[in-house]
Structure 1
Amino acid sequence: MSQPAEAAGITHRLVASPAGRLHLVEQGSGPLVLLVHGFPESWYSWRHQLPALAAAGFRAVAVDVRGYGRSSRPADVAAYRMVELVEDNLAVVRALGERTAVIVGHDWGANIAASSALLRPDVFRAVGLLSVPYAPRGGPRPSEVFARMGGEEEFYVPYFQDPGRAEAEIEPDVRGWLAGFYAALSADTMPPAGAPDPHFVSPGGTLRDRFPAGRLPAWLSEEDLDVYAAEFERTGMSGALHRYRNMDRDWEDLAAYDGAPITRPSLFVGGALDPSTTWMADAIAAFPDTLPGLVAAHVLDGCGHWIQQERPEEVNRILTGWLTHLGDISYQSVTERR
């Protein structure tokens, strides 16, 4: 199995965290920018951003979230609740000898980044959200909301929440499943309008039944797929899936932040063809209230879900421009909510 050569100048490190250890990859020097991946990915999803941010004068650090890659994988499902992941990010900042950081996340990483800026604005001085917009805690318990979606079909979130069920589908053929999942949400390979939605499971079926087959998206080489598959073949899928299994716990843990805005400077970048953008259009429309520090919002035409890999050059221009602009913003002290 071949793997792509890693870019010159990157450094792999293990740092202590409440999870045990966190693996990270860093490149460059300057103000710290913490990059948090989503499901089902790893630090490698930021491979195009690390050198670009380093060249722009930043210390770019991409982590393996707990449960992924070379980071620790606690056995307890509750260990993957959001407040624990925020503590991991704080541990990374401290381990790197920094006091503050800008945090940028994609997919689940966007939720983790948003929660980090919400809970600890004293440390995370700005937040960038890719693909998944910020939506404050509120409304009914998440499991109740997702259970009502799809009618006779089952939405993928409840499917993932049932321990062992998704693992049984994925783990016999990790590489093939990942290829189909990535293709289903990529602009150039996603199912056409009117085809069965790959976010839903038919009675007695699996998610994979609706994945496109036969072609990788343009952004994903065979070698890139090898990297992702090798990580999950080694670790299994449970650590990654446990994030979905804590949504109700998060709703309970963050009750004090019901409806709370994120006041730190922020950025949103979404893909016009990404269901995360279209399904959450109301959340984007609410940004004047929920992200009062929003510096810019971009929706990229013809782009799917894997935004920083599908459109790396464009995302790099947006990120470096925003980060450079942040240097001109005078930050006021923010009192931590308790």
Structure 2
Amino acid sequence: MSQEVSPFTPAGATHRTVDVPGRRIHLVEQGAGPLVLLIHGFPELWHSWRHQLPALAAAGYRAVAVDVRGYGRSPAPDDVAAYRIGAHVEDNVAVVRALGEETAVIVGHDWGSTIAADSALLRPDVFTAVGLFGVPYAPRGGMKPTDAFAMIGGDEEFYVSHFQEPGRAEAEIEPDVRGWLAGFYATLAGDTMPASGEGAVFFVPKGGRLSDRFVQESPSWLTDEELDFCAAEFERTGFTGALNRYRSMDRDWEDLADFEGAPLTQPSLFVAGELDASIAWLADAVKAFPSTLPGLFSSHLVEGAGHWVQQERPDEVNRLLTDWLGSLNGPTPPAPTRTR
């Protein structure tokens, strides 16, 4: 089955779907031992964890990378409200149960980082530790997210606002899925981003498109064949399910009203590329880690890497990840550190 779903499945990994209430979630699994649940971001698939699956399995863990709802081989409900954060948390809990486990370490990248953090926040009984890649944890604040993002960019439109209107971003992306993905991936990667950095690409000029500022290069860490696979998955599903996560942000804010300012108290890890624009925009969130992530083991900025840190620098990320996982049952972790 693995090769039917993807020729890039790591040797020894298997594809399966598991029943969760009202739907089925597709995942790729490798190894045996404590469960580590891997949650991808936008616009990605389980495939973004292809380098971590065998490394975690070799280190003695049961590594499971899911297709998040709205992506890949998992369901894509039509209703935007079906993508609110509580639904993603329920999916993750249900996957853990379907795999016959009671608890898991959860690790996420990009939107997956937010989903992982909120899974740990809402269900600390299930998610005993949390790894955050690319996007730092930021507790719910006092301003509705769409209002906050609308204030960014001046005469230009921030990409989150650009994604809000149903059909608008789809009309830009879906006529050339492969080209759009290649440009988006390359523009945010450390070795191919514009000389000015990746930040400018997130702003849309009036009457323009997000892709107007993409670099016209292929990402070095993704082969043409792998890009073909990712593009084919999105061509099959469309982008609406993926974009509906952005369109649910205000619902998340409403649902998390009882958790304003709440810290994540579980053992945690933060890893990002040093060139990732998210680190600049969310610098205050990183500075707040002593209070918002009191269980932080370590915080790392990977030199030369951009947004796709676990794909751009898999060996270094795998070392950081397995070192942290090994600490969970070891001695008391050291004080939080920040490395390059």
TM-score by length of 2: 0.94
Instruction: Let me know the Cα RMSD of the aligned residues.
Output: 1.5
Report the CA distance between 1:193 and its aligned residue.
1.4
Q: Flag the 1:19–1:199 CA change in 2: closer, same or farther, 3 A.
A: farther
- 8 Å contact 1:36–1:43 — kept in the other structure? yes
Distance in 2 (alpha carbons) for counterparts of 1:81 and 1:35: 19
Determine which of 49, 70, 91 is the counterpart of 2:94: 91
Matches within 5 A, 1:279-298: 279-298=281-300
Distance in 1 (alpha carbons) for counterparts of 2:177 and 2:315: 29
- 1:287-331 residue CA offsets vs partner (Å, 9 max, x unmatched): 00000000111111111000000000000000001001112268x
Determine which of 268, 271, 274 is the counterpart of 1:272: 274
- Ranges in structure 2 where 5+ consecutive residues have no aligned partner: 1-5, 333-340
SS in 2 for 1:197: helix
Deviates more, 1:140-149 or 1:27-36: 140-149
Distance in 2 (alpha carbons) for counterparts of 1:246 and 1:47: 28
- Give the aligned partner of residue 337 of structure 2: none
Report the CA distance between 1:251 and its aligned residue.
0.3
- 1:163-189 residue CA offsets vs partner (Å, 9 max, x unmatched): 100000000000000000001100111
Q: Which amino acid aligns with 1:146?
A: F
- Give the aligned partner of residue 63 of structure 1: 66
SS in 2 for 1:132: coil
Distance in 2 (alpha carbons) for counterparts of 1:237 and 1:246: 15
Matches within 5 A, 1:247-266: 247-266=249-268
Determine which of 235, 238, 243 is the counterpart of 2:237: 235
SS in 2 for 1:67: coil
- Give the aligned partner of residue 152 of structure 1: 155
Matches within 5 A, 1:18-97: 18=21, 20-97=23-100
- Give the aligned partner of residue 334 of structure 1: none
- 8 Å contact 2:136–2:282 — kept in the other structure? yes
Determine which of 109, 125, 128 is the counterpart of 1:125: 128
- 8 Å contact 2:187–2:194 — kept in the other structure? yes
Distance in 2 (alpha carbons) for counterparts of 1:188 and 1:231: 25
Report the CA distance between 1:139 and its aligned residue.
2.2
Distance in 2 (alpha carbons) for counterparts of 1:194 and 1:233: 29
Distance in 1 (alpha carbons) for counterparts of 2:331 and 2:127: 14
- 8 Å contact 2:107–2:113 — kept in the other structure? yes
SS in 1 for 2:253: helix
- 1:209-247 residue CA offsets vs partner (Å, 9 max, x unmatched): 11001x212111101101110110000000000000000
- Give the aligned partner of residue 202 of structure 1: 205
- Give the aligned partner of residue 335 of structure 1: none
Report the CA distance between 1:17 and its aligned residue.
2.1
- Give the aligned partner of residue 12 of structure 1: 15
SS in 2 for 1:111: helix
Q: Which amino acid aligns with 1:180?
A: G
Q: Flag the 1:194–1:233 CA change in 2: closer, same or farther, 3 A.
A: closer
Distance in 2 (alpha carbons) for counterparts of 1:235 and 1:229: 10
Distance in 2 (alpha carbons) for counterparts of 1:105 and 1:18: 22
- Ranges in structure 1 where 5+ consecutive residues have no aligned partner: 331-338
Distance in 2 (alpha carbons) for counterparts of 1:5 and 1:138: 40
Determine which of 302, 305, 308 is the counterpart of 1:303: 305
Distance in 2 (alpha carbons) for counterparts of 1:255 and 1:329: 36
TM-score by length of 1: 0.95
Aligned length: 328
SS in 2 for 1:161: coil
Deviates more, 1:269-278 or 1:38-47: 269-278
Distance in 2 (alpha carbons) for counterparts of 1:260 and 1:228: 36
Q: Which amino acid aligns with 2:90?
A: E
Distance in 1 (alpha carbons) for counterparts of 2:41 and 2:317: 16
Task: Give percent identity, aligned residues only.
Answer: 69
- 8 Å contact 1:93–1:100 — kept in the other structure? yes
**Which of 1 and 2 has higher RCO (CA within 8 Å, sep 6+)?**
1
- 8 Å contact 2:105–2:128 — kept in the other structure? yes
Moved over 6 A (4+): none
Q: Which amino acid aligns with 2:120?
A: A
